Amino acid sequence: MDIAKKAAAEKACELVEDGMIVGLGTGSTAEWAIKRLGKMVKEGLHIQGVPSSKQIARLAEIVRIPLIPYNEFLMKEYDEGQEKCVLDINIDGADRVDPEFRLIKGGGGAHTREKNVATASKLFCCVVDESKMVPKLVGSFPLPVEVIPDYYREVAAKLKELGEVKLREDGGKVFITDNSNYVVDVSLTVGEPNRLEVDINEIPGVVDNGFFTGRTPEKVFVGYPDGSVRVLERGD
C-alpha cells in the first residue's frame, strides 16, 4: 500500500513549480508528498508551504520546506484585494473518494483546517491509493465531525439520528484537534453527502465535518501497488 500512496503523491508533486505557495495536506499519503517536496527544495526548488495540521508542520520543518504558519495564512493578505493567502496548489489525501470527486476526510482529525486550505487553493490535487475509491460515500467510512467540547452531548444526540456515534479517543484519552475540539465519528446510514455537509454544520456546536462536497479536487491521483498512477480529472 505504501508503494501506491508514494506513487500517487510523487506524481502530484510534478505539478509544483518554482515560486508556488503550496497547501500541505494531512495524512499518510500526503506525508509522501511532503517528503518529495522536501527533496525538491533541497535540489533548488523555491516554494512556501501552508500546513493543514501541527503534525504536518513538524514534518515540513524536518524536510526544510519554508512555511507560512496556518494562523498567518488565515489572517495575512498576500495578494491585493484578497483576504486570504491564495495557494497555487494543494496536495492532500482522502479517506474516501466517490465518482463525483466528493470526499470524506478527517481520519487524522484535521479536516477543518484541511478544508480551509483546500478552499483557498487554485488547484486541488487529491492523492490516494485505489482502496479509497468508492461508488458511494455514505456508509463507506465513518464521517468525522469536529465539535466544541461544551456542546458535545447536544451534538451527539442530534447526530444519533443519522447513525452510530463514537467519540474519538487517542491512547485511552479523548482525541483533541489542533483547534482544541473533540471529534465525533458518525457511521452514517442515511442521507446524501451535499445535504448532509450543510445540515450537520448547522447543528450548534459543530465546527465542521469531513464531507468535501463544495470544494472538490480538480485532479485525483490514484496509486496502485505496482507503482503506476492513474490521473483522473474533473469532467472526464
Catalytic residue numbers read 114
139-170 residues labelled b (16+ CB within 10 A) or e (exposed): ebbbbbbbbeeebbeebbebbeebbebeebee
Amino acid found at 25: G
**Which ranges of the chain does DSSP label H, i.e. alpha helix?**
2-13, 28-42, 54-62, 70-75, 111-119, 152-159, 193-201
Instruction: In whole angstroms, give the CA distance from residue 125 to residue 51.
Output: 15
Instruction: Specify the residue for cell string 484537534.
Output: 177
Question: Taking the CB of residue 182, how many other CB atoms lie within 10 A of it?
Answer: 24
Instruction: In whole angstroms, give the CA distance from residue 44 to residue 27.
Output: 26
Instruction: Specify the residue for cell string 478544508.
Output: 115
Q: Give the HSE-up count for residue 135: Cα atoms under 13 Å, Cβ half-sphere.
A: 0
**E strands present in the chain:** 21-24, 48-51, 89-92, 96-97, 103-104, 124-129, 143-147, 163-167, 169-170, 173-174, 182-188, 206-209, 211-212, 219-223, 229-233
